[in-house]
Chains A and B, each alone.
Chain A
Amino acid sequence: MIRLTSVEVRGQSNAGPFSGVLNLSPGLQVISARNSYGKSLAVTAVGWCLGIEPIFGLFDNDPSCFPLAARDEINLDGPATARVFSSECTVMLTHNDGRQLQLTREIKGDPSVVRVEERSLDRPTRRSRLMARRQAMQDEHGGLQRFLFEWLGWPRTPVMTLKGTVAEVYLENLAPLFCIDQNEGWTDLQALQISRYAQQQISEVAVEYLLGATDGIEARVARQRAVLKDAGLREAARTIADRVNALLLRHGWSVDWSGHGSVGEILTRWSLRTLRDALLQDAEVDLAVQRVSLSKRAEVLRKALTSDPIDPADASAPAAASQDAIDLKRRRHELSDELGTLRVQHAQTAELVSSLEHRIHAAGDVLRLKATGVGRLEHMECPTCHRNLDPATFALTDQSKESVSVHIEALKRDRELMSKNSHAIEARLTTTQAEITRVDGELRDAERALETVNAAVGTVREQLAKTVADLTAVERAIDRVAEAATEMSELQSTVDAWIAHARGAEQITQVTAELERRRAAFVDALRRYVVALGHSAVGSGSAANLHLDEQYIPYLQTRRLRSLGSASDQCRLVAAYCLALAAASHRVSGLHPGFVILDEPLQQNPDEQHRKLFLAFLSKELARQATFQTVILTWLRPHEINILRQQGTQVVTPEGDHFLKLSPASAAAYAG
């Protein structure tokens, strides 16, 4: 653990050199000074030297988080101001093992570099210049964050981004849990958390990191990767299913091979049967059997052509060839009729779907009309007798909102039904077109065969010509079946690869017991701090009902704690959360840096009760005996300071009106 030892801001102005120093002690301390003294300047200097200005919503190296006093024009005691030429700030950190680190970064000047001075008991002082923001984590030699993580002994932890790439946990992700800024820090838990880096679940990751639950983060990242992988697998399954269906439809086979549903569902479905099984069960097509049968037929024809005796009296060949062609033509006609009908059905279904869409839209508008009452003709009075005209007299109905809603639901069901019909018709169109292509090919063969047989002279030649034509047709069919089998086999390999991939992705890392232990320590500490700070919705009796959800958001039974209590309880909740996290981290040997800065906790809701509760907390042992450093910057009244000091709480009251002061010599010269 480390603690802040001092914060210093200094610079040059046209009135001479100026500076301000805040020395800090271990444990709890309250820095009490009036508004506009420059307390927040000191808090900002800590964030600036650590290179975490993005938490203030700023671009890299943008010093706008500092007040003008440090950048442009410094207020001196009295009405006078002086122009600032240059300025910088320094933060001194002390590690428990005695090592010290001094970080200096220019405010007005070159803010891109941080001057680092490492002091150690057993080694000479080492000085270096590191990049504050550019490649701060990635640059092994020149990045400030890389250096800070190493100096603190913090592990670098990968996290997933929303784009599916890998990022890391950065210091600016952790700082919102131990550095509460006056402007926005009190508005919510981790109000200053950075969302623009698009790290997934970064708020939860930040809490787990400070608790030292790096295994938990690893498991979380593994789960996130699994979700991404799952999406990829589903996409791949849909593509494979599309390819399979295209092949099946091209051959005119109607088979149910869907790529819809979850990965688990697809996996179960695709593991149950192969493409060959599906083809056999749904379309009663067995390519292997077809191939064997065709081969046998080819063998018989070949034998008939080459060695079997020919009956010269057999004159049936021309009639058989003719009959084949006639059968195929009839089949072609039937298919053409079917195709025409399907096309009409498809067009009508599409029109029906479109009309249903329109009806749904119109009914939705009618519902809006009735719900909002815009433009309604409310008073339907007869101009002659001045009695209300009942629409029912005219066989008209003014439907209720409920009736319209029910009608919309019915229309939506109809639309779904018609869309399914449309898809079914599309599938049948494709299979019919495929069948027509196949029959066309066979018809061409049959017509050629008929032509050849008719041209042959004598029954023997006729029979030979017919046999040759049949053999050619059978060999073509064998080729087609072989080609289809190869395609099916290739697709089956793709399906098998997908199944293997999906099975590998099934193992999802579970939450470790170690994470549960750290989490329990946090909950325990949070209960104590929430009660000690006087949250009005949580008493010592009800604190046991306080728990954290999966996102580390505090709940009291089923209600979010943020939604309970008074407005000033929000501030107490934020303070309790940060302090409890530091306490729990220390208890479970976590990675919390060891200091918590709370800037202006009393200004958020300056009511008397809030002040009293906060002062009561500061005098309690829980606050005073904390093992980590707590720096509270606020303004206390003299009698409040006395009470706290009497109870042993350290209260620092800096002298003067402003944190930044001219050096005594310059002040004298400037006054002169």
Chain B
Amino acid sequence: MNPLHTLAELLRGGGAQPLFSPERLAPSTIYDLQYRLAITACAFELHAKSDLVNTRRIRAATLKLLQFVAIRPWLVPVLQEWAASQRHPQFSLLASQRLRRGFVGDVTYEAVIAFLVARRVLVRVGSHLVSGQNVDALTPFYTAAVEHSLFAAERRVLQKLVDVKITNSMLEGW
């Protein structure tokens, strides 16, 4: 039995009349594999840099931050403010408060990266993620998103973040 059913039964026993809406049980699409793969693909496509051996790489924490903000566009001004306040350490600490909420515990991202690493789409090299032998599997997500106008808001955010300088000190300890 679903925990909510159990709770409803318990409440009923106490004379309460709980209103139980099973449709609320539908999980948020934020935790959907395809959605997160698509957003990660878009972030990697737009932000990963090519190196000398023709592979593409991105700092893992940066990718985490980018995809986190991409699915929460209202955090863009917060990130911009935080990036702009880097010269003032005290203020910088305050500016990043709203970002930290939920970011550190974003385990779905970790799971998606673990999945992509297992699939050899990405490879972990120190603190970076580098394109693996199956990196081509990510490309259709980005192409399809552009061709079919999918996740336009998320892609707009990622495009906007190209101009935001995310430094190592910002991601220290993340």
Q: What is the interface of chain A, defined by CB distance below 8 A to chain B?
A: 351, 354-355, 358-359, 361-363, 365-366, 368-370, 372, 374-377, 380-383, 389, 391, 394-399, 403-404, 406-407, 409-410
Contacts and interface: CB of A to CB of B under 8 A. Distances in A.
A377 B141 contact: yes
Contact of A398 (B34, B73, B141): B34
B32 A397 contact: yes
B134 A383 contact: yes
B144 interface: yes
Nearest to A355: B74
Interface string B27-41: 111111111111000
B50 interface: no
A389 B33 contact: no
- Top 7 nearest A-B pairs (CB, nearest first) are A375-B144, A406-B26, A374-B144, A407-B26, A363-B29, A375-B140, A394-B115
Contacts of B31: 396-397, 399
Interface string B41-60: 00000000000000000000
A interface SS class: helix
B153 A396 contact: no
A406 B23 CA distance: 6
A403 B144 contact: no
Contacts of A382: 118-119
B114 A394 contact: yes
A369 B120 contact: no
Contacts of A363: 29
B10 interface: no
Contacts of A396: 31, 33, 36, 108, 111-112, 115
B71 interface: yes
A533 B142 CA distance: 61
A404 B29 contact: yes
Nearest to A391: B33
Given A362-B153, A395-B107, A403-B26, A377 B37 contact: yes
A51 B148 CA distance: 51
Interface of B: 21, 23-24, 26-38, 71-74, 107-108, 111-112, 114-115, 118-120, 133-134, 137, 140-145, 147-148, 150-151, 153-154
B145 A361 contact: no
A348 to B, nearest CB: 11
A382 B38 CA distance: 20
B126 to A, nearest CB: 21
Nearest to B150: A365
A403 B112 contact: no
Given A358-B153, A365-B150, A375-B38, A397 B27 contact: yes
Nearest to A361: B153
B97 to A, nearest CB: 15
Contacts of B74: 351, 354-355, 358
B26 A410 contact: yes
Nearest to A399: B32
Given A362-B29, A362-B35, A383-B120, 16 more contacts: A365-B150, A366-B29, A366-B32, A366-B35, A374-B140, A374-B150, A375-B141, A375-B142, A375-B148, A377-B137, A383-B134, A394-B112, A396-B36, A407-B27, A407-B29, A410-B21
Contacts of B23: 406, 409-410
A366 B150 CA distance: 8
Given A363-B29, A366-B29, A368-B150, A376 B34 contact: yes
A376 B38 CA distance: 9
A525 to B, nearest CB: 54
| Max chain B Cβ within 10 angstroms of own Cβ: one of A370, A372, A407 | A407
Q: Which of A382, A383, A394, A410 has the most CB of B within 10 A?
A: A394
Contacts of B142: 375
B71 A389 contact: no
Given A374-B144, A375-B144, A394-B111, A399 B29 contact: yes
A398 B118 contact: no
19 contacts: A355-B74, A358-B74, A358-B153, A362-B151, A365-B150, A374-B147, A375-B143, A376-B140, A382-B118, A382-B119, A389-B118, A391-B115, A394-B118, A395-B107, A396-B108, A396-B115, A399-B29, A403-B26, A410-B23
Contacts of A406: 23, 26
Contacts of B133: 383
A315 to B, nearest CB: 54
A354 B74 CA distance: 8
Contacts of A366: 29, 32, 34-35
A217 B61 CA distance: 73
B63 to A, nearest CB: 17
A355 B21 CA distance: 22
A365 B150 CA distance: 6
Contacts of B120: 383
Nearest to A365: B150
B111 A368 contact: no
B33 A372 contact: no
Contacts of B147: 374
A372 B112 CA distance: 22
Contacts of B29: 359, 362-363, 366, 399, 404, 407
B34 A370 contact: yes
B118 A372 contact: no
A407 B144 CA distance: 23
A382 B151 CA distance: 28
Q: Most chain-B CB neighbours within 10 Å: which of A354, A375, A382, A383?
A: A375
A397 B154 contact: no
B78 to A, nearest CB: 11
Contacts of B33: 391, 396-399
Nearest to A398: B33
A399 B36 CA distance: 12
A356 to B, nearest CB: 11
B84 to A, nearest CB: 21
B38 A355 contact: no
A381 B119 CA distance: 7
Contacts of B111: 394-396
A406 B31 CA distance: 15
A436 to B, nearest CB: 30
Contacts of B71: 362
A212 to B, nearest CB: 56
Contacts of B72: 355, 358
A389 B153 contact: no
A369 to B, nearest CB: 6
Contacts of B36: 396
Contact of B145 (A375, A398, A410): A375
A399 B26 CA distance: 9
Nearest to B108: A396
Best-surrounded residue of A369, A374, A391, A410 (most CB of chain B within 10 A)? A369
Interface centre among B29, B35, B37 (most CB of A within 10 A): B29
